[in-house]
Amino acid sequence: MTINSPQGRRQSARLPEQAPVSTPPKRRGGIARAALIVGVSAFVTGWIPILGLLLGVAGIVLGILAVRKPGGKPFGRVGLIGSALAVLANVSVTSVIVISLVNSGIGTAILSDAQPIVTPCYSFNGPVGYINNQSAEKTEGCVTSLELRGEYDSNGEINNTGVGSILGSVLVEPVPVASTDAWAPSGRLDDMVDFLNRSYFPDAGEVTSLREAVSLDGVEANLTRLTSTAEKTQTKAFLTVFAPERYQSAGEPVRFFVISFVIPDDNGEEIIAAAADSWRWL
């Protein structure tokens, strides 16, 4: 458009230029920032059992919420990826730890309230924390050896390390039929207990209760209690029983079993009761 100036000259009229309208940057919401922070934290701590898993799960949830928000995709995706990797790493590390503990025998005390013992002759629940160091060959021969290993601390408390001195034990020993026939020709449990009281029990300690009737999976058994020569042993006892049938151990027929308990803690009665109640002939 042109207009005439007062001086008579034609001038072009220009409209004033408008400043470009700037669009304010989209702000990423608090959920996106939280997803990023938690995701990075989870990724860093993913190798720590439980902690890494909890952070990873929280980061995944926040990441999913963040990517659904306008402007939240960049932070949300980073948090989501970091959290997912943390969960995978945590599950892998935890699995390796659990498998290692179980294979070493130490994990039994952590993973369960009882230690299942299974042989071709019998099964029962052994005490928690007692290490099963029995070889496969001995187990096939129906022998069980559970040991409580560790040391006493300055307060006299047991530090159960799984290694070191043997502080307690639960042993199951099968006796060949040839021996039991010679010791108690009658085959009666009372006669066998009398023989052991003359020849075996005195070497283990002073008998305080020779006969207590016990049942092992419906079969008559006997519990003999002794005082131990070891200062810190609180419970020492023998369960003796004739099995309902003959088994094979190291190529010999066996039927009589001696189960000995040496318990340094005050839970000896519970350990004996748990073994007797869970005992099954196979």
pLDDT value of residue 46? 73
Confidence (pLDDT) at 231: 62
User: Which of 191, 198, 201 has its CA nearest to residue 256?
Assistant: 191
CATH code of the region 110-281: 3.40.1000.10
> Which range is most confident: 15-24, 77-86, 94-103?
77-86
If pLDDT is split at 50, 70 and 90, which confidence band does 83 have? confident
Summarize pLDDT for 165-213 with one digit per residue, the tens.
777 889 999 999 999 999 999 999 999 999 999 998 988 888 999 999 9
Domain with CATH 3.40.1000.10 in the chain: 110-281
pLDDT tier, 90 (very low <50, low <70, confident <90, very high otherwise): confident
End-to-end CA distance of the chain: 111
Q: Which DSSP category does 155 fall into?
A: T
Q: Is the Cα dihedral 47, 50, 56, 59 positive or negative? A: negative
Spatial distance between the Cα atoms of 63 and 41, rounded to a whole number of angstroms: 13
Q: Give the model's confidence band at 245: pLDDT under 50 very low, under 70 low, under 90 confident, else very high.
A: very high
Helix axes 51-67, 73-104, angle to 10 degrees: 160
Question: Distance of CA 200 to CAs 90, 120, 205, 249, Å?
Answer: 53, 27, 9, 21
Q: Is the pLDDT of residue 105 over 50?
A: no
pTM of whole model > 0.75?
A: no
